[in-house]
């Protein structure tokens, strides 16, 4: 552990929150952040932050979550780097006012959509991808020309401290601030007025955020979670499906919002899939996954206890065909695959958010669709099939934030695809240009020349004027 990652930055006291928000508002009011050059400098700053502090970022993630170096690169700072480069490349085009058509009745005239920054935005991030989920919204917020206040998760203290300590060195610290803290501080923070709140976390806290935002009529983006299902039909390539499901589920020890939560497999390929899943776990993490450098740990004791309870053998809770072992002192839960799980089992009642994968049997894809549609809309849905009509059927007949066919959550790495939930899994979406749009007001502007002033809209209204309008509208 380097000194930088282990030393917490000095957290701002709660009573200073109003002054911090006011100072950000004052900075926004200077107009400084509207300038394209300023925005480019912030994005360049993020790229330099990642380039120069890669080791510290990796170490903080290892200290918080035991995150393997490759996962830290791919799913944390590598992702943020790609998003930042994408924004940097397209910023000029995104900022440009868009010319749209003007109806005949309003001619002569010119119609434009202007891209206005919103003002001061609040980003509240969770602990599971504590770098990625703090920084990716900031990319959109500064690209769109806003001042930002970031409140990282206190449950990933090393990454929180790292952001608080280093971000001011790489970004305009008068316009981008980090406020470390937990519930008490966030509660105070939410009393302030922001122009947008971008929250990533659970639906339970999402409700608190939305209620606080309502007092100021502040719009919110809620990036939430839920139980994302995998559907495996009889035509699927079972070996590939197993590899992808195991990778997507057990990365970050299952603490991923888009992790496959459970599997619905057609009866006829149930045993075949289970064999492949069990074999893949051994291939990836060895006979004793607690020794694997590629398998992470549970964030804290509370979550460890919550997950351990799911492993306890109540009726219908299922049988572990892989894993099933927990060690609280090491915050370790083995990559676990459960068979014969009842839909009423505790593990099927809430988002698992840990390395436990229940496998349930269905008779056919129609039954899988009903199963999914009877529950909250998931953040993601994964479908494994070689049958094109089945792909179209599941995509059309279910509702989820996104779908990956024959893979896990890679759809979120396509910058042109919106990433976000629907219903219980969230509202709003970001990534790529949509991140810019989330933090932008699309302002309607109509420009009319004064010289030409047709009279047909003005009183006194006559039959003739009415006829003109009827023809033009």
Residues that bind ligand NAD (CB under 6 A): 124-128, 133, 151, 153-155, 182-183, 186-187, 200-202, 205, 208, 223-225, 257, 351, 353, 379, 421, 426
For residue 193, the minimal CB distance to ligand NAD (Å) is 16
| Closer residue to ligand NAD in complex, CB, 126/432 | 126
Comparing CA positions, the residue from 340, 254, 267, 339 lying closest to residue 297 is 254
For residue 228, the minimal CB distance to ligand NAD (Å) is 9
What's the Cα-to-Cα distance from 415 to each of 146, 159, 213, rounded to whole Å?
21, 25, 28
For residue 316, the minimal CB distance to ligand NAD (Å) is 24
Measure the CA–CA gap between 407 and 381, rounded to whole angstroms. 10
Which residue shows structure tokens 């064999």? 275
| Closer residue to ligand NAD in complex, CB, 137/318 | 137
Burial label for 23, CB within 10 Å (0-12, 13-18, 19+), is middle
For residue 81, the minimal CB distance to ligand NAD (Å) is 18
Exactly one of 59, 257, 266, 424 is catalytic; which is it? 257
| Closer residue to ligand NAD in complex, CB, 132/165 | 132
Measure the CA–CA gap between 351 and 425, rounded to whole angstroms. 11
Tell me which residue has its CB nearest to ligand NAD: 225
First to last CA, the chain: 70
| Closer residue to ligand NAD in complex, CB, 197/274 | 197
Task: State the Cα torsion 29-30-33-35 to the nearest 10°.
Answer: 130
Residue 223 appears among annotated catalytic residues: yes
For residue 274, the minimal CB distance to ligand NAD (Å) is 26
| Closer residue to ligand NAD in complex, CB, 33/255 | 255
Measured in whole angstroms, how far is the alpha carbon of residue 127 from the centre of its chain? 12
Exactly one of 223, 266, 351, 424 is catalytic; which is it? 223
Kind of pairing between the strands at 196-200 and 260-266: unpaired
Burial label for 140, CB within 10 Å (0-12, 13-18, 19+), is buried
For residue 347, the minimal CB distance to ligand NAD (Å) is 15
Q: Which residues pair with 383 in a beta bridge?
A: 231, 405
What is the total residue count of the chain?
Answer: 473
For residue 162, the minimal CB distance to ligand NAD (Å) is 15
DSSP 42-93: HHHHHHHHHHHHHHHHHHHHHHHH---HHHHIIIIIHHHHHHHHHHHHHHHH
| Closer residue to ligand NAD in complex, CB, 238/257 | 257
Backbone angles phi, psi at 161, to 5 degrees: -65, -40
Neighbours of 195 (CB within 10 A): 19
Which residue shows structure tokens 């609280």? 328
| Closer residue to ligand NAD in complex, CB, 145/152 | 152
Catalytic site positions: 223, 257
């Amino acid at each position: 552990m380097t000194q930088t990652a282990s030393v917490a930055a000095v957290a701002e006291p709660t009573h200073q929150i109003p002054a911090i928000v006011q100072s950000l508002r004052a900075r926004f009011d200077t107009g400084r952040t509207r300038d394209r050059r300023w925005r480019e400098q912030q994005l360049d700053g993020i790229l330099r932050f990642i380039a120069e502090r890669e080791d510290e970022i990796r170490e903080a993630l290892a200290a918080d979550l035991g995150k393997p170096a490759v996962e830290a690169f791919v799913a944390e700072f590598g992702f943020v780097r790609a998003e930042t480069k994408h924004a940097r490349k397209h910023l000029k085009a995104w900022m440009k006012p868009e010319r749209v058509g003007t109806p005949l009745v309003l001619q002569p005239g010119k119609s434009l959509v202007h891209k206005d920054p919103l003002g001061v935005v609040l980003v509240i991030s969770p602990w599971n991808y504590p770098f990625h989920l703090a920084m990716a919204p900031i990319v959109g917020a500064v690209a769109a020309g806003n001042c930002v206040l970031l409140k990282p998760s206190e449950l990933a203290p090393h990454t929180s401290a790292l952001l608080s300590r280093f971000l001011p060195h790489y970004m305009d610290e008068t316009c981008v601030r980090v406020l470390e803290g937990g519930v008490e501080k966030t509660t105070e923070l939410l009393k302030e007025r922001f122009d947008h709140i971008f929250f990533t976390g659970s639906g339970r806290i999402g409700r608190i955020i939305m209620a606080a935002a309502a007092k100021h009529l502040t719009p919110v983006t809620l990036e939430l979670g839920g139980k994302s299902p995998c559907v495996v039909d009889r035509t699927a390539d079972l070996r590939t499906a197993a590899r992808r499901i195991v990778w997507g589920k057990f990365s970050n020890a299952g603490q991923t919002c888009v992790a496959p939560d459970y599997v619905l497999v057609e009866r006829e390929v149930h045993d075949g899939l289970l064999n492949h899943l069990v074999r893949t776990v051994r291939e990836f993490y060895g006979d004793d996954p607690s020794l694997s450098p590629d398998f992470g740990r549970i964030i804290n004791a509370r979550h460890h206890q919550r997950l351990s309870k799911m492993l306890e053998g109540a009726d219908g809770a299922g049988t572990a065909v892989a894993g099933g072992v927990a060690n609280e002192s090491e915050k370790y839960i083995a990559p676990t695959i459960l068979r014969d799980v009842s839909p009423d089992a505790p593990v099927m009642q809430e988002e698992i958010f840990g390395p436990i994968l229940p496998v349930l049997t269905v008779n056919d894809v129609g039954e899988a669709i009903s199963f999914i549609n009877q529950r909250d809309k998931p953040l993601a849905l994964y479908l494994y099939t070689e049958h094109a009509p089945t792909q179209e059927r599941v995509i059309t007949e279910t509702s989820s934030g996104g779908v990956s066919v024959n893979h896990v959550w890679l759809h979120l790495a396509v910058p042109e695809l919106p990433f976000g939930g629907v219903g219980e899994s969230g509202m709003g979406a970001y990534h790529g240009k949509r991140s810019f749009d989330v933090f932008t007001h699309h302002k309607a502007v109509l420009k009319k020349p004064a010289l030409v002033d047709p009279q047909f809209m003005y009183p006194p209204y006559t039959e003739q004027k009415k006829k003109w309008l009827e023809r033009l509208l």
